[in-house]
């Protein structure tokens, strides 16, 4: 007997549409204030960032405390672009965008170049060919020196690429943007700023991961915490390099373009990408690295590469979330990216369930609602008590559900699909004998 | 034809020399077993062959080519698959996802599906349990899953590390029957075991390891009859 089942994607789509239009309707109809409208958006933004961290820690098992750093990079990186469009702080509407694009492409070029050259092999060759004439340690030193020179040369080449690209890009972008009507150029710039926020954060996280991912999990956590502190300090002094970032005074003049459709659209899109990635063979391999590095290595998984992939992708999510955050209030201050704030996404993913996308999204919404809801519920003069009540709630939930709200389980379409029907006969329950005979008559 | 040849292998964990110059080979189609007590270097040998450990001296030839500098990924692709000791199932992945992980280095979905069907024919239990999480299986089922997962990469050589560990005797019989069946289908097997009697009963040839050295080798029947071996390992 088969029960008629509604495909999971339909129920999931229905819930998503309901949430989307519910908020939309409430806003348009004036049922919620601007304040609550922003709270809901903040919840979705936090969900994007937390999904990124869950990929790194929950699914891949790498304990990172530096997520807020990537969030900050995405926020400031994108704000520079949109602020430029509005105020021309760099001298032209797209100056910052052109520099960032050229810089990123140059950096990627350098990374690909260094990777393609295969420096360890080059070093070995140089050292071994020199060792005929020199003492081993001399040959070794000269080999290292040669490799350093080659790296420096490829870096110089990529700087040249970036400069050349900028010379091409800057006028082209400027013409495109100024020729478009404002209704078209504004969303275009915003979309580019969001993607840029993500890609800058992803590039930085790739580099950080390259240096730090070889550390064991606890050490990696501390090292990434160090990275977050570095970003925080850099932001406080950012006005020394780029005046318009205003350092510890806080960056103003960012257009408040984040709206519910942008934020919700971003969350849905990124959730779909992550779900599909997790259900692919690479996604399974990421989870297997969390479960057992040695075993997944013996399955043929390149563990280092997958850790890097998860960390870079997680960084991208944090960057996009940061970019949306920057355009929610139109104001950025380093204190929004402090170490204490950095624990928020960690709390959310542990609370929602490490390794559960559904749990992360659910927990992000609850987190925002609890923090802001308590502000309303508590009597006047007692608002600060919410930082007493909220930890108590956390404590209770962790005591009652130690593996988070959902553990590693998922809901609806986010779940893994069921295995296909196969017509291999399942023999009777007795284990002995049956298994072997089935396999031997095969060939 | 020699499929695998291990030549004067030395492996150390820091200052501790686990393997001190062992040589052995596996011919195509054979079941070869390494037996010995705890700490004799059996598992270390397997992990060195699959590329998880690097020897400091000696060579490993697979189909005539040295693989001591080859990464584990490439070794799996080349056709050597290890079923690790203690099974090491991915406990939060389902049975099917565990099997799919075994086929990680392969890309053709149809071939993967046909391997999966083969595994399900060898281990019908796994098909019944395919949506269940790996961690919720019984010990015997986990061993079957580990072996099935190892077979998903279509290896020419399967490295089995202590498949009988922690299993009830009736299950041990079952597992060894399946090992024989897998071998009958053309996969060569290098089997590491503490249960020497069981291993010798299905193997073609055997090597006895003691503190990182081979002390005895020969065809399984003669090793089984050797009085010293009977005394030391078979009781």
pLDDT at B34: 94
State pLDDT tens for residues B9-62: 999 988 888 899 999 999 999 999 999 888 888 999 999 999 999 999 999 999
- Interface check for B104 against chain A (CB to CB < 8 A): the answer is yes
**B122 with A439: Cβ contact below 8 A:** yes
Query: Which segments in chain A show pLDDT lower than 50?
Result: 429-443
State pLDDT tens for residues B143-170: 999 999 999 999 999 999 999 988 889 8
**B122 with A435: Cβ contact below 8 A:** yes
**B181 with A436: Cβ contact below 8 A:** yes
d(CA A129, CA B149): 44
Query: What CATH number is attached to the domain comprising A313?
Result: 1.10.3470
Extract long-range pairs of A3-12: CB within 8 Å, 24+ residues apart: A8/A412, A8/A413, A8/A415, A9/A412, A9/A413, A11/A412, A11/A413, A12/A411, A12/A412, A12/A413, A12/A414
- Alpha-carbon separation of residue A442 from A421, B118, B121, B153 (angstroms): 20, 8, 8, 19
d(CA A139, CA A430): 67
- Interface check for B122 against chain A (CB to CB < 8 A): the answer is yes
A137 within some domain: no
A304 within some domain: yes
A244 within some domain: yes
Closest C-alpha to A180, from A191, A188, A171: A188
Interhelix angle A34-53/A260-278, rounded to 10 degrees, is 20
DSSP assignment string, A60-109: T----S-HHHHHHHHHHHHHHHHHHHHH-TTSSTTHHHHHHHHHHHHHHH
Closest C-alpha to A411, from A344, A364, A353, A347: A353
Q: What share of chain B is helix, strand, coil (3-state, %, to 5)?
A: 40, 30, 30
Q: How many CA atoms lie within 13 A of B84 on its CB side?
A: 19
Tokens matching residue A47: 């969900």
User: Which residues between 25 and 54 in chain B have a beta carbon less than 8 angstroms from any beta carbon of chain A?
Assistant: 50, 52
State pLDDT tens for residues B57-89: 999 999 999 999 899 999 999 999 999 888 789
d(CA B182, CA B154): 11
Contacts of B182 in chain A (CB under 8 A): 439
A134 within some domain: no
Instruction: Quote the longest CA-to-CA distance of chain A.
Output: 84
State pLDDT tens for residues A245-274: 988 899 999 999 999 999 999 999 999 999
A91 within some domain: no
Closest C-alpha to A179, from A100, A97, A93: A93
* Total structural domains within chain A: 1
Domain formed by B2-79+155-233, architecture: 3-Layer(aba) Sandwich (3.40)
**B125 with A288: Cβ contact below 8 A:** no
DSSP assignment string, A13-58: HHHHHHHHHHHHHHHHTT-S-HHHHHHHHHHHHHHHHHHHHIIIII
d(CA A232, CA A237): 9
Smallest CA–CA distance from B105 into chain A, residue: A300
pLDDT at B22: 93
Domain spans, chain B = 2-79+155-233, 90-154
pLDDT at A4: 66
Tokens matching residue A293: 């590095």
A92 within some domain: no
Closest C-alpha to B82, from B2, B190, B204: B190
Out of A302, A416, A442, name the one closest to residue B118 (CB): A442
pLDDT at A436: 44
Closest C-alpha to A211, from A295, A67, A320, A311: A311
pLDDT at A407: 85
Residues in contact with B57: Cβ distance below 8 Å, sequence separation at least 6, in sequence order: B8, B9, B10, B21
User: Which residues between 413 and 432 in chain A have a beta carbon less than 8 angstroms from any beta carbon of chain B?
Assistant: 416, 418-419, 422, 424-427, 431-432
Q: What is the dihedral of CA A247, A250, A252, A255, to 10 degrees?
A: 100
- Interface check for B70 against chain A (CB to CB < 8 A): the answer is no
Tokens matching residue A17: 């549409």
A138 within some domain: no
Range(s) of the domain holding residue A285: 8-77+185-415
d(CA A289, CA A61): 7
Rg (CA), chain B: 17
pLDDT at A116: 85
**A424 with B177: Cβ contact below 8 A:** no
- Interface check for B94 against chain A (CB to CB < 8 A): the answer is yes
Total residue length of chain B: 235
């Amino acid at each position: 007997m088969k029960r008629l089942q509604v495909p999971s994607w339909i129920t999931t789509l229905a819930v998503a549409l309901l949430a989307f239009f519910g908020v939309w309707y409430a806003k348009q109809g004036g049922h919620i204030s601007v304040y609550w409208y922003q709270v809901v958006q903040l919840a979705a933004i936090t969900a994007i960032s937390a999904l990124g961290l869950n990929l790194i820690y929950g699914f891949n098992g790498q304990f990172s405390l530096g997520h807020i750093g990537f969030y900050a990079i995405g926020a400031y990186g994108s704000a520079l672009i949109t602020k430029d469009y509005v105020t021309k702080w760099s001298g032209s509407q797209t100056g910052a965008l052109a520099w960032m694009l050229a810089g990123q492409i140059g950096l990627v070029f350098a990374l690909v170049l260094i990777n393609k050259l295969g420096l360890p092999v080059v070093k070995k060759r140089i050292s071994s060919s020199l060792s005929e004439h020199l003492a081993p340690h001399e040959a070794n030193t000269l080999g290292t020196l040669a490799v350093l020179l080659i790296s420096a040369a490829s870096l110089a080449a990529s700087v040249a690429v970036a400069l050349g690209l900028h010379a091409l890009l800057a006028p082209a972008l400027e013409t495109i943007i100024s020729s478009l009507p404002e209704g078209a150029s504004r969303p275009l710039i915003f979309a580019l700023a969001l993607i840029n926020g993500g890609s800058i954060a992803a590039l930085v996280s790739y580099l950080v991961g390259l240096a730090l991912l070889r550390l064991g999990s606890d050490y990696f956590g501390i090292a990434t915490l160090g990275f977050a502190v570095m970003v925080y300090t850099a932001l406080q002094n950012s006005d020394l390099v780029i005046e318009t970032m205003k350092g510890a005074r806080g960056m103003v003049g960012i257009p408040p373009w984040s709206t519910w459709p942008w934020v919700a659209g971003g969350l849905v899109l990124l959730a779909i990408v992550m779900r599909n990635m997790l259900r692919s063979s690479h996604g399974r391999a990421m989870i297997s690295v969390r479960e057992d590095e040695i075993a997944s290595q013996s399955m043929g998984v390149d563990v280092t590469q997958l850790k890097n992939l998860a960390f870079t992708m997680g960084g991208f999510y944090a960057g996009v979330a940061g970019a949306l955050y920057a355009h929610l209030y139109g104001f950025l201050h380093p204190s929004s990216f402090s170490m204490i704030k950095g624990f928020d996404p960690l709390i959310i993913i542990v609370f929602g369930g490490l390794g559960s996308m559904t749990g992360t999204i659910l927990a992000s919404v609850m987190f925002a609602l609890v923090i802001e809801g308590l502000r309303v519920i508590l009597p006047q003069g007692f608002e600060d008590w919410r930082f007493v009540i909220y930890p108590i709630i956390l404590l209770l939930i962790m005591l009652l559900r130690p593996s988070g709200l959902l553990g590693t389980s998922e809901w609806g379409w986010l779940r893994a699909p069921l295995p296909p029907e196969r017509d291999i006969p399942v023999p009777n329950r007795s284990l002995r004998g049956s298994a072997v005979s089935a396999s031997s008559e095969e060939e | 034809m020699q499929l695998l040849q291990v030549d004067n292998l030395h492996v150390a964990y820091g200052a501790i020399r686990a393997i001190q110059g062992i040589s052995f080979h596996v011919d195509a189609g054979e079941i070869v077993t390494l037996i010995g007590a705890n700490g004799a270097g059996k598992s270390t040998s397997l992990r060195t062959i699959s590329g998880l450990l690097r020897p400091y001296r000696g060579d490993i030839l697979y189909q005539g080519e040295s693989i001591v500098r080859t990464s584990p990924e490439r070794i799996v692709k080349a056709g050597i698959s290890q079923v690790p000791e203690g099974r090491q199932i991915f406990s939060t992945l389902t049975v099917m996802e565990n099997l799919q992980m075994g086929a990680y280095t392969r890309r053709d979905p149809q071939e993967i599906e046909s391997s999966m069907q083969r595994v399900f024919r060898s281990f019908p239990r796994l098909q019944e349990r395919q949506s269940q999480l790996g961690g919720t299986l019984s010990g015997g089922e986990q061993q079957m899953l580990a072996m099935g997962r190892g077979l998903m990469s279509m290896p020419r050589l399967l490295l089995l590390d202590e498949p009988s560990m922690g299993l009830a005797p009736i299950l041990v019989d079952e597992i060894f029957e399946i090992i024989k069946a897998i071998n009958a289908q053309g996969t060569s097997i290098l089997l590491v075991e503490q249960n020497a009697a069981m291993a010798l009963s299905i193997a073609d040839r055997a090597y006895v390891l003691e503190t990182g050295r081979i002390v005895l080798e020969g065809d399984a029947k003669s090793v089984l009859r050797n009085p010293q071996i009977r005394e030391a390992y078979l009781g």
